[in-house]
Homo-oligomer: A and B are copies of this chain.
Amino acid sequence: MNKSSETHLREANISPSYTRVMIYDYLKINHNHPNVDEIYKALCKKLHTLSKTTVYNVLKLFLEKDIARKVTISSSEDKYELTCEDHSHFKCKVCNKLYDIPLVKTEYSTATLKGFKVNNEEVLLTGICVNCNK
């Protein structure tokens, strides 16, 4: 069990059960925006009694406590990642892989958004990735 992951969970007011730490660590190590099924299948190897419901429960808790978020890219499956330093995403339309890329800066006139309070900016680039672009 990872000490620092336990600490992160505690800081978010989540009691660090074994399962929760496992899921947290999985997200921490795997930056490939896994969906529920991928997390479930990967952790089943170590946690033989794990159920998908628990994965859903834990991820829901992580979202509520703001230590993880859904990455909603044009597809009907929910993907997840830990809330961390800002970055943007690139989605390859050939292989459908989703890449983390350095933060894309944005520029817009605040005048057109008068009265609107902006808390968050997300940028998604789509195109062809380096592997498919050959």
A104-134 CB mask vs B (1 if < 8 Å, else 0) is 1111110011111111111111111110010
Q: How many residues of A contact B (CB 8 A)?
A: 39
Please list the 8 inter-chain residue pairs (A to B) with the smallest Cβ-Cβ separation, ordered nearest first: A115-B130, A119-B127, A72-B74, A105-B107, A118-B127, A104-B108, A117-B128, A120-B126
A47 to B: closest C-beta gap in Å? 26
Which B residues lie within 8 Å of A106 (CB)? 104-107, 123
Which B residues lie within 8 Å of A112 (CB)? 101-102
Task: Supply 16 A–B pairs (Cβ within 8 Å), ascending by A.
Answer: A72-B73, A102-B108, A104-B106, A104-B108, A105-B106, A115-B130, A116-B133, A117-B133, A118-B125, A118-B126, A118-B127, A120-B127, A121-B124, A121-B125, A122-B124, A123-B124
User: Given A116-B128, A119-B126, A122-B125, list of 12 further CB < 8 A pairs?
Assistant: A70-B74, A76-B78, A88-B108, A90-B113, A90-B118, A101-B113, A114-B130, A117-B128, A120-B126, A120-B127, A121-B126, A123-B123
